[in-house]
Structure 1
Amino acid sequence: MLLASMAAAEDDNGVVLVFGDSLSAAYRMDTNDGWVALLQQRLRDEGMSLRVVNGSVSGETTAGGLARLPAMLDGHEPDIVILELGGNDGLRGLPVSSIRQNLERMIQLSQQAGAEVILAGIQIPPNYGPRYTGPFYAQYQELADDYGLVLIPFLLDGIAENPALMQDDGIHPTAEAQPMVVDIVWPILQSVLRAEGQP
């Protein structure tokens, strides 16, 4: 688990693994402009020596993530996993039951590896209809409740509704919106760090 003194000693680094899709992979922008890189900078600015690993891949589905996750857990031994997947499954109209099953297994694998999981909620466009979008979005809160996870209710809250902050596809936030994503993630991450003894 995270060490209370990690901020004071470089050799006590903890690892945050961001495991997601194009929303976290700096899609169509410089990697340094993406929210994950900006989160790393925020941690440094706060004097925290946590290392952020971006394990996100554009186009990733929950099935693809489940296949990749064990190697990422073994290779990086994260203390915290920010799990941000499901959007591409939803855009393909895949069954919510299968999406949930894959997310659940990734949560279990992360917890078995000793990591605290922060689950990032995702919404898909309303044109998919409430009979699909409702259960799709609800699964994130349900999984958080079932596994005692800290939940980011919606990663793009206040961003997705504003066309000026979204790329032309209407799905991905612009570079200008990336600091706003950090502002959404930051207090959630802080709450987990405090729970683990981080000042």
Structure 2
Amino acid sequence: MQIKKLRDGLLGAALSLTVAILLPVATTADERTLMLYGDSLMAGLGLSAQDSFAGQLQQALGDDVTIVNASVSGDTASDGLARLDWSLAERPDAVILELGANDMLQGRSVDTMRQSLTAILQRFGDENIPVLLAGMRASPGLGTDYVNAYEAVFPELAAEFGTRFYPFFLDGVATDPSLNQADGLHPNAQGVAVIVEGILPEVEALLNR
């Protein structure tokens, strides 16, 4: 009798576990999915998952928001466009778009970058997905003409598509050795904390749109 009760109890527990795995988790109307669509600055190159931008932003936003990090280190704007269909397989409620830094570092055509970002923003618009566009600044060593043309792309596209706009993703962090990793390009954990603190109000406004 005891063996039968034990067997029945184990069977019941196994069935309960199977149901819990197979059935979808109930969500509330307040729960939202935020996609990060960028390059290594958002992918968290050189950082732990907890210290990365995604990890620290998740902690700041809380459990009502699920972050999907669809960022890929090394991506240019054209690379981001090439993988957009695949990345949107699971439709997010909102997107932070941060691409273009590698275009600048590689000295790529500003016009090509603009065309790719335009196509990405158009796709998000077609899907009715609100976007926060994060801008970037160019190295002065690339020359005044390139810097001016490059830096104009982001505010102009934000105005064209009516997206929320954060002018400089690395605001308060760029060129500060204490907030960057040894390469001088990628923020360390402290630098990420500065970025999250600065961009958080815009992210919250995006999610409440």
Matched residue type, 1:71: W
Given the alignment of the two structures, is residue 164 of structure 1 paired with residue 196 of structure 2, yes or no?
A: no
| Residue of structure 1 aligned with 2:48, choices 19, 30, 34 | 30
Which residue of structure 1 aligns with residue 85 of structure 2? 70
> Which residue matches 2:68?
53
Q: Which residue is equivalent to 1:112?
A: 126
CA displacement 1:39-97 (0-9 Å, x = unmatched): 111111xxx51211000111011111101111111x22111111000110111111111
Shift of 1:37: 1.3
Matched positions, count: 183
TM-score under structure 1 length normalisation: 0.87
CA distance in 1, matches of 2:34, 2:86: 15
Report the counterpart of residue 94 of structure 1 in structure 2: 108
SS at match of 2:207: helix
| % identical aligned pairs | 38
- Supply the distance in 2 between the matched residues of 1:124 and 1:172 (Cα, whole angstroms): 15
5+ residue gaps, structure 1:
1-8
For structure 2, the 5+ residue unaligned runs are 1-25
Q: Which of the residues 24, 27, 33 maps onto 1:10?
A: 27
Correspondence for 1:6 = none
Provide the TM-score with structure 2 as the length reference. 0.83
CA apart distance, 1:10: 2.9
Report the alpha carbon displacement of residue 161 of structure 1 after superposing the two structures with TM. 3.0
Q: Output one character per residue of 1:102-133: Cα deviation in whole Å (capped at 9) or x when no partner.
A: 00000011111120011000113221122111
Corresponding residue for residue 5 of structure 1: none
Superposition RMSD on alpha carbons, in Å?
1.4
The alignment partner of 1:23 has SS state of helix
User: Does 1:133 find its partner at 2:147?
Assistant: yes
- Asked if 1:124 is matched to 2:138, the reply is yes
Contact 1:122 1:137 in 2 (8 A): yes
Moved over 4 A (4+): none
Correspondence 1:177 to 2:194? no
Aligned AA for 1:39? L
Amino acid at match of 1:10: T
Q: Is the 8 A contact 1:10 1:49 kept in 2?
A: no
Q: Distance in 1 between matches of 2:168 and 2:69?
A: 19
Higher relative contact order (Cα pairs below 8 Å, separated by 6+ residues)? 1
Amino acid at match of 1:30: S
